[in-house]
């Protein structure tokens, strides 16, 4: 169990994918994404989401991500945020996203 104060330390925000491209150097198939978080600016990440998404299809979509983890080197790419998703019945990631328009950079409550 964690306290509510512990939960509040995790900064989860909504952003919009502005750019996406294949990440062939990754160990498992992945896509690199650049995400606009409004006032927080643009941050980049990679995600193993190739089963349900294409780079072209991700552009313009909203995603939810943890923005206050330290950057992590993934092969030749520096990941700055962690996009959130849940596995489908086959264990493939489905990204979390708001179902209504919200301001970019909006923090999850």
pTM, entire model: 0.95
Low-confidence stretches of the chain (pLDDT beneath 70): none
**3-state DSSP assignment of residue 7:** helix
DSSP state of 38: G
The share of the chain scoring above pLDDT 70, in percent, equals 100
> Could you name the CATH architecture of 8-95?
Beta Barrel (2.40)
For residue 46, the model assigns a pLDDT of 97
């Amino acid at each position: 169990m964690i306290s509510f104060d512990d939960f509040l330390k995790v900064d989860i925000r909504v952003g919009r994918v502005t750019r996406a491209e294949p990440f062939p150097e990754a160990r498992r198939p992945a896509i690199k994404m650049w995400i606009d978080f409004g006032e927080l600016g643009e941050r980049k990440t990679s995600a193993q989401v190739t089963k349900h998404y294409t780079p072209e299809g991700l552009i313009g979509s909203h995603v939810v991500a943890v923005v206050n983890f330290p950057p992590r080197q993934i092969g030749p790419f520096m990941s700055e945020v962690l996009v959130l998703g849940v596995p489908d019945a086959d264990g493939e990631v489905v990204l979390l996203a708001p179902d209504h328009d919200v301001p970019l950079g909006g923090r999850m409550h």
